[in-house]
Amino acid sequence: MASLSGLYQDLILDHNRAPQNYRQMVDANRRADGTNPLCGDRLTVWLKVEDDTIKDVTFQGAGCAISKASASLMTAAVKGRTRTEAEALFERFRRLVTGDLPDSEAGTLGKLAVFSGLSEFPVRVKCASLSWHALKAALNEPDAVVSTE
């Protein structure tokens, strides 16, 4: 049975209350807007990419606790990583929240593993993925808009 406390863990509530890297980036060279048309959520991810490496990443937007905490933890997780590393991390994260990642691999996700409870709430998977989709779009197109639909 789905466990509410497994979803709204303290780490998620903390990042919802005080998200990290929550600001516009004036000297960004990449950005993408992500929208979830179903609920009206919208966020922007800014990147500074140099030599194929994410030197800095920030976000801003309106969304639920899951989407905000996920964006916050994402920024912390991908800063300093190469594009390939960040995309591989997204793939592992996607498998985690959809319940397709074996427990043995969950450890490789660090703090992102806090979202493992999400696999029991399929309607909320989009919330956690929104910022990642925006990140991926920004990495591949300098100025992109993505949608979860």
Partner 1 sequence: MEAGSAIRPASSEDVSRPPFDVDRVRADFPILQRKVRGKPLVYLDNAATSQKPQSVIDAVSGFYAGENANIHRGVHYLSERATAAYDQVREKVTRFINARSSREVVFTKGTTEGINLVAQSYARTHLKPGDDILITVMEHHSNIVPWQLVCEQTGANLRAVPITDDGELDLEAFEQMLSERTKLVALVHLSNALGTINPIKQLVALAHARGIPVLVDGAQAAPHLVVDVKDLDCDFYVFSGHKVFGPTGVGVLYGRESLLESMPPYQGGGDMIATVSIQRSTWAPLPAKFEAGTPMIAQVMGLGAAIDYVSEVGLSDVASWEHRLLSYATERVLEIGGVRLIGTARAKASVLGFVMEGVHPHDIGTILDDQGVAIRAGHHCAQPVMERFQVAATARASFAFYNTIQEADALVAGLTTVKKMFA
Chain residues in the site for partner 1 (CB under 8 A) = 1-2, 4, 7-8, 13, 16-17, 38-42, 62-66, 68, 121, 124, 127
- Smallest separation (angstroms) from partner 1 to the CB of 29: 28
C-alpha span between 138 and 13 (Å, rounded): 27
C-alpha span between 48 and 12 (Å, rounded): 26
C-alpha span between 115 and 52 (Å, rounded): 27
Q: Which residue number, 47 or 72, has a Cβ lying nearer to partner 1?
A: 72
Q: Which residue number, 28 or 130, has a Cβ lying nearer to partner 1?
A: 130
Q: Cβ-count burial of 136 within 10 angstroms (0-12 exposed, 13-18 middle, 19+ buried)?
A: buried
Q: Which residue number, 3 or 140, has a Cβ lying nearer to partner 1?
A: 3
- Smallest separation (angstroms) from partner 1 to the CB of 40: 5
- Smallest separation (angstroms) from partner 1 to the CB of 127: 7
